[in-house]
Amino acid sequence: MYKLILEKTAYTPAQLSGIDIPQIALAGRSNVGKSSLINTLGGSKKLARTSSSPGKTRSINFYMVQPSGFSLVDLPGYGYAKCSKTEREKWSRLIEAYIQDNFQLKAVVHLLDSRLEPQALDLELSHYVQSLNIPILPVLTKSDKCKQKQLTAISRTWSKILGLNCPPVVFSAKTGAGRDKLWELIIESATP
């Protein structure tokens, strides 16, 4: 069992300097379940703050995985329409500054809502990450809210879009489904 410890919080690109251990980042639309997934992986509801209203996480949060020695990184969500354009631009600049030229970023866990058809911003992010040659670990979130048939269909859709060899991880923060599988893939990606 790995332990997660909040190690650093960055609100601006300048605050990102000086992090030189391997990292696995969690990206996805606002409200898709990134912070809940951190809590499920860490086995505690108190690690990352979650909210039913989108736009909760506004900083980049680094969680040290012990005893492994790499970080899981919770990113602010994209596509949150209700905040100001200036604020949205600030977040996307922060996310880009984080991803671009980060040689320690070993993979991006891309969270996708299992109830929704692929959204334009999801496709944009996956193309961006792929264009940088960073591996993507796709995860279908909130699977407890879906019927098996729907899960199979959306899983196939994303496999085709991303050209995957193995299907996305079907995950639920509510039931813990997919937790062990995701840990396995994260450890495999983060440790050489």
Q: Of the candidates 10, 23, 30, 42, which one interacts with ligand GTP according to CB under 6 A?
A: 30
The residue with tokens 């995701």 is 182
Cβ–Cβ < 8 Å for 169, 137: yes
Burial 179-191 (b: 16+ CB within 10 A, else e): beebeebbeebbe
Q: Of the candidates 23, 25, 31, 162, which one interacts with ligand GTP according to CB under 6 A?
A: 31
Q: Of the candidates 10, 23, 28, 35, which one interacts with Mg ion according to CB under 5 A?
A: 35
What would the x/- binding string for ligand GTP be over residues 126 to 155, using CB under 6 A?
---------------xx-xx----------
Q: Of the candidates 172, 182, 186, 190, which one interacts with ligand GTP according to CB under 6 A?
A: 172
Single-letter residue type at 178? G
- Sequence-ordered strand ranges (E) for the chain: 3-10, 23-28, 60-66, 70-74, 105-113, 136-141, 169-170
Q: Of ligand GTP, Mg ion, none, which one sits near residue 145, judging by CB under 5 to 8 A according to partner kind? A: ligand GTP
Q: Which residues bind ligand GTP (CB under 6 A)?
A: 28, 30-36, 50-52, 54-57, 76-77, 141-142, 144-145, 172-174
